[in-house]
Structures are given as structure tokens and as C-alpha cells.
A and B are shown apart, each in its own frame.
Chain A
Amino acid sequence: MTLAARTWGRMSLTARLTAILLPLAVLLAVGTVVGIVFILPPTMDFLGANMPLVRFVVAVVGILVLTIPTAFVLIYMELKVIARMNLRVGPNRIGPWGAAMSLFHGFKVLSKEDFAPTGADLTVFTLAPVVTFLASVMTLLVIPFAPGIFGQDLNIGVLYFFAMGGLAVLGLLMAGWASFNKYSLLGGLRSAAQIVSYEIPLTISVVGVVLLAGTMSMNGIVLSQSGSALDWFAFKQPLAVLIFFIAATAEANRTPFDMTEADSEIVAGFATEYSGMRFGFFFFAEYVNVFIISALLVTLFFGGWTAPINWPWPYNLNWLDAAGIGILWIPIALVALVVATDILGAAIWLIGGREWSAPSAFGLGLLIAGAGVTAAVGLACFIAFDWVQGIFWFFAKTYVFVFTFVWMRGTLPRVRVDQLMGFAWKWLLPASLLNLFVTAAAIIILNQPVIPR
């Protein structure tokens, strides 16, 4: 036994912890100082000189990260909303009202065995969820969330969207083929044929919007709908909205078009042999797809991030800056929080008498004051910044449609597979072409000038 080992053996638990943690703390402190003095300024200079690079990294990481809470919220919504529609309670154990349910679903999928059947083509089997996930994430690049907040404003935005979205078919076919299972292959082929058939009316219904806006850029389309709700393309293209909604439901494999997961016919379709995280990514992509098609519906037909009424906001809150406050509103809000907590807590304690102990009185005061200050700051931001408003309106509208998709799943039965294809080619396609040419004729007759952008 060495000296060090003997010393270690004689030390108490507290002493051991101190022996480990104290040097770590010193190291951390020194490191922080060194970091602030020597590393921070050149890093800030570097980032400041490379704003395009910073924007690139932030946009890419932001889009990827956005998908995770989106999927969690959608999974929870689906569980809870459908449960309520079925007169059930739904998840109610994990977290408040079961809200952490989908998070734990994620952990469950992560810890499950990721198994591939013996006969499977392993490379293609693994790449299939990657392609499916990419197909949905890549489309998020062109969606404008708020003025100035978007991945990239491509001038062929709409075309890019459908080009990338079309890759989903590839993922389905790869999954169906690689699984070495007749149900998988049949499910993959069937859903590929379905998506391919509904993609045509989907895209043609969007051409009407491009006709009206005169541009394929998503930002341009949103800007040409600015004004009030009456300027939204939904009111100029009602038929296109209907066709788009139906076809988008089929594209995302949602009820009533979820032939892919017709468990009474082909087990779980292309995903039959998938398990663990590789299955998890199909699941993930499906929920992100619901969000994306709702977002696209909002962007193209319901004004994107524009407000439904024509209001004079954003006000420039000059009085904040005029008083020389600027960034200082953060400490001011904190001071306001403390003062309000004290006043409220004292009031509750004095009025409440014996039933309220001091901690519970001040705790309630903190709750009320916190809610008040948060609401005030949120409202101020909402009034002051157009991008806060944009994000609010965009997500509010998008989640209305997300709710509608969940609602449809709770309500409608599945269509028959023989009716499915005929409906796309015999009804939706002619209807979308009719909509297109009526729009074109209307533009000629009314001879609208080009919408200024």
C-alpha cells in the first residue's frame, strides 16, 4: 500500500469530498478568470467579425433543436386531446397533468433494444430513418417564423420545400425494402404510392398562391398577405386550402389516410420490423411533419406571422430608452419582483392572521408577484418587438391546425385503400387544376397590378 492509499483510507467521507471538490473549485475559479481575461475577448472579436458564420451555426442548431420540443408537445397533445375526446383522462401521473409523459416516452424509446431482423439489409435499414428525419427537418429551413427569424429565405422556397419533402418517400421505400418482411415491403410500397399520388394535388394547389404572390420565396408570400386577416390567401383560394388540407393529411400519413399504419391490414406497415431508436426516428419525423404541414398551411394561406387585425404595433417603446434605461430593465424587473413580493407577502401575513405563517404568506406573495412581473415583461416585449409578435401569431395559428389534425385523428375513421388512390387522381387533381386556371383567369380579368413588396 502506498502512502497516498493509506491516507485516503483513513480520511472521513467529508474529508474525501473536500479533497476532491476543493481543488476542483479552485481550478474552476482560476479557469473562469483566465477564460474571462484571455479567451472571452478574442472569442467575442472572432464571433463579431464572423456574423454570417454565427448566424449559420445558430440557424442550423436552432432548427434541429426546435424539432425536439415540438415532437414532445405534439405527442402529449395527441395523448391528452384524444383521451379527452374519448371521455378518458389520458396521461395524468408523470408531471403536472401528465405533461412529462412524452419526455419519458423518449427515454423509454432510447433504452429499448434496437433490433434488426436477420435477413435485413443493415446499411439501408439504418439509413432509412435518417432519410425520413432529414426530409422533414430540411423543409424547416425555409419556413419564416417571424420577421427576420428564418433559416434561409431562398427565392425558390416553395419548390425547395416540396423537393425536400418528397424525399420522405425514399425513406419509406428504403425501410420497406430493407426490413425483409412482406408486410414491410407492402406497407412501404403502398404508402409510397399514396404519398406520390397526393403530392401532385398538394403542389398544384400551392401554385395558385404563387400566382397571386408572384414569388416562390416564403417571406415574399407572407409579406404579400400582410394587412389584416382579409388579405390572407385563404379567402382568395378557398378551394386550394381545402385541397391542400386533404392532400397534406395524406402526405403526413395522418388519419383518415394512415394506410401506412393500418394495423388491421399490414401490421405496422414499413415500420413493422423497426424497434428502439431507429423506430423512434420514424415516430419523431411523423410528429415533426404534422407541425411542418401546419406551419406551411399557415405560411401559405393564413398569413404566416402577420397579425389577424391591422394594428399599429409594434410601438417603439422610446420612453424606456429615453429615460436612459435600455438593458437595465432586467434588474428593474427583478427589483420590482422583490418589492412586490414583500408588499404582497406582508399584506397577506397581516390580513390573514394566524392561519398564515410567514413563509407561506411570502411564498404566495412571490407566486402572485412573479406571475404579474412575467406577464408585464411579456406584454412589454410583445408590444415592443415585432419578432415577438410574429412568433406569437405564427405558433398560435400553427397550433390551431395541429389541434385540428389531432382532432381529425380522434374523429374520423380510416378510408379504404381502394378509394384512396382514385380520390387523389380523379377528384383532387382536376379540382386543383380548376382552381389554378380560375385563379389565372381572375388575375387576367381583374388585371391586378403586381403586389408591391
Chain B
Amino acid sequence: MPIGQTLPFTAVRWDDVLFVVLAIMLLGSALLVVTMRDIIRCGLAMIASFASLAGIYVLLGNPLLAATQVLVYIGAISILVLFAIMLTQTKNAPTRLVFQTQAWIGAVAAVVIAAIIAGTVLTTTWPSTGAVAWTATSDIATMLFGQYVLPFEVVSVLLTAAVVGGVLLARREPPADKEDRS
């Protein structure tokens, strides 16, 4: 007896089961990010939520985006965040995070945004695709280097601006004592 496309005794597809699991992981780790006190653990929980999101991207039919998510967000941006935390954080950090003083404003803003998103989702008439539409990697590439080549070039300017800004901010002052000696 082969295992079918669905969870036994139900009509739930295995991929949907995986989606639910990943979504719970995503939301759970995202909640941990904002509730935990230890900021380095917050960073690690953020990485877990990035990873779950990558899994959801694959289930939605775009493995390229998932690989990019893991490569860039987990492999690079999270590392940058962890570096920033580790280079500045001291052991005697405040036990109450600073932004928790704005918790009420934050909660109101979150509820409003959630309401707006829910309203948008409910009022939009979604095109029914039936099955998950697979996106071929080469199609994305063709579009990127054909139709959207200008935005692609702008990305390089953005990245360069980020590098230059980071260098400018983090650059040490030129050693003054060396000039004094000369």
C-alpha cells in the first residue's frame, strides 16, 4: 500500500503539513526574537525564522529565492548582525531592553498593521493558480537581465553606497601620534 499524497485518513497534502510546521516555526522564532532578553539569542532566533522562511519559499515553488535567503540572509546579514552585537555588547547589558519602554505604542502599531494586511488580503481577488506555480531559475535570470536590467544596475549602486557608508562610519581616526613624531 503506497503512502499517498495526503496525510493518512485526511485530505491534507503532505506539503501543506510541511507548510504548517514551517509557518509555526517561523512565527514561534519570530516571537522569540522580540520576547527574549539575551540579545545574542534573539539574533539566533532570527536566523531560525529566516531558515523557516526559506523552507516556505521552496514550498511556494521558488528554490532559487530560498537558496538566496539562506546564502544572503543567514550566511551574510545575520553574520553582520552577530558581529555587530558581539563587537559592542558588554556583559552588563541592561536587563530591560530599551525599546520595551515603547511596548504599548509598538503593540498598537502592530495591531493596526495586522488589520491593514488582513483587510488587504480579504478584499483582493486572488487569481486561482490551482497548483503551485514552479518558477524556473533560468526564467528569473532571463527577466532580470532583459526586462529589469536597469534596476539590477541600481542594486550595484546601492551596495556600493552601503560599503562606502560603512567604511566611512567604521574607519578609525588616522593615528595622530605618528604625525606628531614626524
Contacts and interface: CB of A to CB of B under 8 A. Distances in A.
Dominant SS at the A interface? helix
A189 interface: yes
Interface in A167-183: 167, 169-170, 173-174, 176-177
Contacts of A124: 40-41, 44
B2 A49 contact: yes
B47 interface: yes
A192 interface: yes
B41 A155 contact: no
Nearest to B54: A163
Contacts of B38: 121
A192 B47 CA distance: 16
Given A49-B1, A163-B67, A196-B79, A185 B41 contact: no
B75 A166 contact: yes
B75 A160 contact: no
A155 B137 contact: yes
A162 interface: yes
A45 interface: yes
A166 B67 contact: no
Most chain A CB within 10 A, of B71, B76, B86, is at: B71
B23 interface: no
Interface in B41-84: 41, 44, 47, 63-64, 67-68, 70-71, 74-76, 78-79, 82-83
A50 B1 CA distance: 8
Contact of B86 (A121, A154, A163, A189): A189
Interface string A295-319: 0000000000000000000000000
A166 B71 CA distance: 7
Contacts of A173: 79, 82-83, 86
B2 A50 contact: yes
A141 B147 CA distance: 34
B137 A156 contact: yes
Contacts of A167: 70, 74-75
Contacts of B68: 159, 163
A173 B137 CA distance: 32
Given A156-B63, A177-B40, A163 B2 contact: no
Contact of B74 (A123, A127, A170, A176): A170
B78 A170 contact: yes
Given A121-B40, A124-B44, A167-B74, A50 B3 contact: yes
Contacts of B78: 170
A159 B67 contact: yes
Interface in B1-29: 1-3
Contacts of A166: 70-71, 74-76
Contacts of A189: 83, 86-87
B43 to A, nearest CB: 9
Contact of A192 (B2, B40, B44, B83): B83
A45 B1 contact: yes
Contact of B47 (A170, A177, A196): A170
B67 A53 contact: no
Given A53-B3, A189-B83, 11 more contacts: A50-B2, A127-B44, A156-B67, A156-B137, A167-B74, A169-B75, A170-B47, A170-B74, A176-B86, A189-B86, A196-B76
10 smallest A-B Cβ distances: which pairs?
A166-B75, A49-B2, A163-B70, A163-B71, A159-B67, A163-B67, A156-B67, A173-B82, A50-B2, A160-B67
28 contacts: A45-B1, A50-B2, A50-B3, A121-B40, A121-B41, A124-B44, A154-B63, A156-B64, A156-B67, A159-B64, A159-B67, A162-B71, A163-B68, A163-B70, A164-B70, A166-B71, A166-B74, A166-B75, A167-B74, A169-B75, A169-B79, A173-B82, A173-B83, A176-B86, A177-B86, A185-B86, A189-B87, A196-B76
